[in-house]
Every structure is written in structure tokens, then in C-alpha cells.
Amino acid sequence: MPTPPVYVQACLNGARTPDAHPGLPVTPEQLAAAAVAAHRAGAQSVHLHPKGADGADSLDPEVVGAAVAAVRHAVPGLPLGVTTGFWALPDAQRRHRAVDSWSVLPDFASLNWHEPGSPELAELLLSKGLGVEAGLFHAEAAESWAASEVAPHCLRVMIELQPDEDTSTADALLDIVRSAGSPAPVLLHGLDESCWPLLEHAGLRRLQTRIGLEDTLLLPDGSPAPDNAALVAAAVDLLSR
């Protein structure tokens, strides 16, 4: 297994639905196989979105538990995180109760700081012994996170940029994040058009990064990616140059 020069996380599926890509992992078995292949290609952790029978993201404890158990059995010891995306259950109190009912626990969970109830959800995750990945989409969220009591206790801070955003936006958010003095490492990634440029920028800045079918369906040369492992391998190669 190659060792990338910076920390690379594999984001296996995201909020995409199965019609987006024939290789998008949805079932627990598919997620487990994708995690094994991504790890072999160089991924040092995996982030996934457990999905219900309809292919949509779910925070239901049975759905989350099945996905986590399958991946953990397939790749013991590989750090494993799941989403808490508000779109999966768009009610702050119901989302909080759903996460609180998880019994098969991942190692960490990501939450987008700007979403309703996320600071309180971060406290819940910490109380359950889970690592918190704080997702920061814009300056307002970064400033709110930096001023929070949770900032010193996060496992990771993710600067998450949209397809039309660039390295200057990334650096501006990075300055805000570093002003908090949190010991949490920073992971930078983009989406679709911004994905590969920001991954390269993460390498230059010696930040953590991630890659997978959640963030892009294309390889760096613009050709369709067959699967997550191919994206991870391409990222490791790009970062090693």
C-alpha cells in the first residue's frame, strides 16, 4: 500500500444517489468493499454516508449501524467516519435524537457547522466518545466555530469549498481556523470543478485532504473515475509529485 505524503481520507459516496455513478457504494457490503479498495490504494481513513433502501442518506440507527459494522469488519482498525448532514433529517431536534440513538458507533462523525443545531450536536458526539469533524463552508461558519467551546476538542477541521471556489478562499478560511489555536488538523477539499485544484493546494500547504466519489466523478485528466480506489490512487500519485 502506498504512503501518501499527506493524510488522505476517502469519501466514498456522499449525498449522491446511485444514478450518479454505477460504482457508487450504497449497501453495507458495497461500502465495505469500497473501503477495503480505497485503503489499499492509500486512504488513511474513510468517510461515508449510510443510505436507506431508497439510496438516500439516513441517520437511522439501524442503517448507520449496518454500514459501520460492515466496514469495520472488512477493514479492522481503519478510522471510520459518517455524516450527520442536516439534509438527511432536516429537523435539529430529530437529528439530535437520531444520533443519540446510535448504538454501533463510528470513530468520528462530520457535521457542518452552519447547519441548525450543529454546536449542540458536536457536544453530543463528544459525550459519546466520538471524534468531531467540523465542516466549515464559509467565513461566517469558520468565525463561529473558532469562537466556540468545541473548537479545542475537534478531531479535525474541514474547509469544504464549492465548485466555483478557489485557493484564495481556502487560504482566507485557513487563516480564520488557525486563529482559533485549536490543535485539530485541517483538511481541505473541494467539490467537482474545484476538487483537484484544492487537493493539490492541500498538498502544497501540507494540509490533510480527501478524495472519492462524494467529491468528484472524474480523474485529474477529466476522464470518468471507475471507482473510489482509482480516485485515491490518482490523488496519491498527484500528491507525491
Bridge-based pairing state of the strands 108-112 and 80-83: parallel
* Assigned C-alpha cell, 105: 458507533
Q: pLDDT tens per residue, the chain (241 residues)?
A: 566 788 999 999 999 999 999 999 999 999 999 999 999 999 999 999 999 999 999 999 999 999 999 999 999 999 999 999 999 999 999 999 999 999 999 999 999 999 999 999 999 999 999 999 999 999 999 999 999 999 999 999 999 999 999 999 999 999 999 999 999 999 999 999 999 999 999 999 999 999 999 999 999 999 999 999 999 999 999 999 8
* Domain residue ranges of the chain, discontinuous segments joined by +: 8-239
Q: What superfamily in CATH does domain 8-239 come from?
A: Aldolase class I (3.20.20.70)
What does the alpha-carbon distance between residue 97 and residue 92 come to, in Å, rounded to a whole number? 9
Q: Provide the strand spans (E) within 34-138.
A: 45-48, 80-83, 108-112, 131-136
Please tell me the number of Cα atoms within 13 Å of 97 on its side-chain side.
6
